[in-house]
Amino acid sequence: MASDFQLVPVLDVLNGRAVLAVGGERSRYRPVRSILHAGCDPRNLAQAFRDELNVSTVYVADLDSITRRERNGSLYDDLLSFDLDVWIDPGLRDANDLRGLPTSERLHLIAGMESLASPRALTQILDQTGPDRLIVSLDLRQGRPILANPEAWECDDAAAIASRIIAIGGRRLILLDLARVGRGSGTGTNTLFAEIHAAHPDIEVAVGGGVASMADVLQSREIGAAAVLVGSALHDGRIGRQEVRLLRA
């Protein structure tokens, strides 16, 4: 069990607004309606996560940057000013995409496999960020890796790709099945997590997608995950401040 286990709230940002992600079907994402804050401004929601849930980290998927290369740069600076650690997926393809990003120690960059150009690109990104500041998101759809360039990885087995990432120098991973996001059916990655954790027990692995209740959160902690990403269940109140407080008890 990870002693520093975190619950990390998720903000999916599209057209500058926080949206409710369901099943990875981005054309169908709609603005968030949250009990934590009226409105869908990601800044206000991040502050509500901090103040209402007493969390110290927030995850941001900048879908404008991932899908259209239109980075919400001012949002990054604003979130960092809120005394939060910020995990941001800006759709990194290669080391050139690091230009213009904040250099704050509180910013943890995510390299999503759906965007990353190749193993060589990952090596070059790690050379600039270091392994502590970079998190590699092993993006899946129904258990199969989503890869920007499948030929560059020479296989489509999730565990084998995870091992390749680790061999390159990655020390932090996220397992995220986009087909399960927002559906409340659990992460679906426990078997994959167990395989990676058994082979590489020193690697920090977070999980997310489909978390519906504290039972899902606690199960993630019990299997040894470093963190669990949660979105919809925070916005509709299935997981609230009292439940989050239990994680620190």
Percentage of the chain surpassing pLDDT 90? 82
For residue 24, name the pLDDT band (cuts at 50, 70, 90): low
| Helical residues (DSSP H) of 25-92, grouped into ranges | 42-53, 63-68, 73-80
pTM: 0.93
At 78, list the tokens. Answer: 């604003």
pLDDT higher at 160 or 209: 160
* CA distances for 177 relative to 112, 124, 141, 167, 208, angstroms: 12, 26, 5, 22, 7
For residue 23, name the pLDDT band (cuts at 50, 70, 90): low
At 34, list the tokens. Answer: 């949250």
Q: Helix or strand or coil: residue 104?
A: coil
Q: Per-residue pLDDT for 3 more than 60?
A: no
| Pairwise CA distance, residues 218 & 5, whole Å | 10
Find where tokens 């978390």 sit. Answer: 211
* CA distances for 235 relative to 18, 19, 37, 127, 148, angstroms: 11, 11, 9, 37, 31
For residue 1, name the pLDDT band (cuts at 50, 70, 90): very low
Q: Helix or strand or coil: residue 188?
A: coil
Homologous superfamily (CATH) of 6-246 is Aldolase class I (3.20.20.70)
DSSP-derived letter for residue 87 is E
Q: What is the pLDDT of residues 73-101, one digit of tens each?
A: 999 999 999 999 999 999 999 999 999 99
| Pairwise CA distance, residues 143 & 178, whole Å | 9
| Rama region for 19: left / alpha / beta (φ>0; ψ in -120 to 50; rest) | beta
10-14: average pLDDT:
95
Query: Residue 103, exposed/middle/buried by CB under 10 A (0-12, 13-18, 19+)?
Result: exposed
